[in-house]
A and B are shown apart, each in its own frame.
Chain A
Amino acid sequence: MPNDSKREIGSLSSNIEHGVMEHDTDDLWGDSRVLMNIGPTHPSMHGALRMVAQLNGETIEKSYCEFGYTHRAKEKLGENRTYHQFVVYTDRLNYCSALINNVAYAMAVEKLMGVELPPRAIWIRMMCAEIARIMDHLVCVGINAVDLGAFSFFLYGFHQREEGYSLIEELCGARLTTSYTRIGGLMHDAPEGWEKRCKAWVVKTRKVIDEMDELLTGNKIWCQRTIGVGVFSRQQCLDYSFSGPVARAAGIDLDLRRDQPCMFYKNVEFDVPIARNGDVFDRYMVRMEEIRQSLNIVSQCADKIQPGPIWAEDKRVRIPDKDVVHNTMEGMIHHFKFFMHGFDVPEGEAYTQFEAANGELGFYIVSKGSPRAHRMRIRGPSVWHFQGLDPMVKGSKIADAVAALGSINIIAGELDR
């Protein structure tokens, strides 16, 4: 629509001419203030986000952020799909760590129904969540470095990430959109020897992380571009409900895996890295250390996992076995009822939280006793982090805003839902 776009550009510039950006007499630069629009489609915006900034020279005086360009009405769909059908939609929340979303959603519905999982399923889920966390962090630090001009660092991490995806592919056949969990179980059992391959991957990834650390952490340019940039203090983090690595980089000693343990996180040992300054460099350091801790967790899980069932002994949620479905009438009816009608979740409500790669991922589900949720609220950490971007970048240079945006790891799928 060439005419439309011309008109908009015209109206925008006329707005500026008519004194929306008023002239400040104390201002050395006089009329040099510009209105700058970054996004929605810009390589340094991680997804379809838009930031509109009022610049004085290169300094951001004020800014506002917009999102919603990839809004897919997930909460509305959650009210119109059965609990089983909604699993696939959770992949598309934080697509860098789809498995964490799957696990958190399955946990939320299981909590509402009171379903207890067998140990093997829980161990596999924990390994999945930690592998996904490692891959999410690798992408975050890698892309953050690419934004600041360090390209080879990103490729080291990306290779290891692809190897990790191969492990996930062995589980469920998909690499990115996994849909691996089911309410009350898993799609498939892990194949023979999967744990051993995970341990081999852990050993390799540890080496790569050390290499990446040597490559970037002491680098002078990297330090100058990140130390003291995008600072968000502890108090600000609390005001804006920051969670996860970004909050821990500002000194908030909280990890839901340790402090509100779910699954078997009590049975594994790991440290929670904390930093003090809350700048881009500290977020990078926290994420790098968290990768190492998650590698430890994966390797401990691989030692502790035992053969056994992967489905809960609960007739309400268990998908009927295929030989029963194909060979008996009752099984066939059960199968059709299960997939067409869905299973009824008893009346009640629960907020289930999980420490996702970015922070607290919450599912607040209200059930009225039907196979569809009355309310399916998804609390994505990215929304709260993106809200803090305006105060975070106020008064800094436009290039530092790109660094800050990369470090809080905004994922558009989770942001827009």
Chain B
Amino acid sequence: MDIKFDMDIRQPIPSNGGSWLAQWGEGWKSQVARLQEKFGASIEEVRMPPDYPTDVPIIYVKKEAIAQVLEFAKNEAGFEYNFLSDITATDEEMEPRFEVVYNLFSHSKFWRIRFKVRVSEGAEVPTATGVWKGANWAEREVFDMFGVKFSGHPDLRRILMDARWVGHPLRKDYPLKGYQIFPSAEPIDPSFLR
């Protein structure tokens, strides 16, 4: 039997936006330029494909300005990111510890972009619920899983975990089997209806 076997199975191939980059690369560049012009020093860093292995540009925004930047990206002509795909976070295990990630999508132009906010432990990020009402639960989930707090949020409490839970499960220092068992169900709190 003729067997060809290559041990080098780890050759790195950078991911890229593929057709997206060809389609929207110029548009992204002009958007980034406009954002930098409008918000100046609030735009900390820009990571563009294909220089950085990402599918869409990542724009790091200072946390004080994130609500204004999202509002601008939502309504401004030439951006029109009117659909909030997702809000999540990552634990980077260095200072500043967390990155809150906003994935946006445009219903009219079909392009996507990603905003990120670096936030250290204990600091607060302004809420995006003023821009999209639907950001409410996504931010609650980020708070539940990572302990990142959102200032101005109408109802910031745990969402997936029990109210009595200790710790934030998606932090890297939380153990995989960090079970916590409660003998009874979470009682109804009628004050949420107010």
When A52-B193, A71-B161, A351-B103 are in contact, do A330 and B5 touch as well, CB less than 8 Å?
Answer: yes
Task: Give the residues in chain B near A79, CB-CB below 8 Å.
Answer: 170
**CB contact between A377 and one of B10, B88, B162 (< 8 Å): that residue:** B88
The size bracket of the interface on B is 35 or more
* A37, B190: Cα distance in complex, Å: 10
B192 with A64: CB separation less than 8 A: yes
With contacts A351-B86, A362-B103, A388-B134 taken as known, whether A75 is within 8 angstroms of B170 at the C-beta atoms is yes
Q: Are B90 and A375 in contact (CB under 8 A)?
A: yes
User: A198 at interface (Cβ–Cβ under 8 A)?
Assistant: no
- Interchain nearest-CB distance for A338 vs B (Å): 8
B9 to chain A: which residues have CB within 8 Å?
315-316, 334, 343
Q: Is the interface of A mostly helix, strand, loop or mixed?
A: mixed
Tell me if B169 and A76 are in contact (CB < 8 A): yes
The one of A62, A76, A111 that contacts B15, using a Cβ cutoff of 8 Å: A111
Query: Is A324 in the interface zone, CB < 8 Å from B?
Result: yes
Known: A20-B191, A76-B169, A366-B90. A114 touches B85 (CB 8 A): no
Measured between beta carbons, the chain B residues less than 8 angstroms from A377 are 86, 88, 101
Residues of B within 8 A of A352 (CB): 55
Interface check A8, CB cutoff 8 A: yes
Number of interface residues of A (CB under 8 A): 73
Of all chain B residues, the one with the shortest Cβ separation from A3 is: B184
A-to-B contact residues, CB < 8 Å:
1, 4-5, 8, 11-12, 15-16, 20-21, 35, 37, 52, 54, 62-64, 67-68, 71, 73, 75-77, 79-80, 111-114, 238-241, 243, 252, 254, 259-260, 315-316, 323-324, 327-328, 330-331, 334, 343-344, 346-353, 360, 362, 364, 366, 369, 374-375, 377, 379, 383-384, 387-388, 416-417
Q: A71-B161, A328-B3 are in contact. List 13 more A-B contacts (CB 8 A).
A: A8-B187, A35-B188, A52-B193, A67-B160, A68-B161, A238-B107, A241-B85, A315-B9, A347-B12, A349-B53, A351-B114, A362-B103, A379-B86
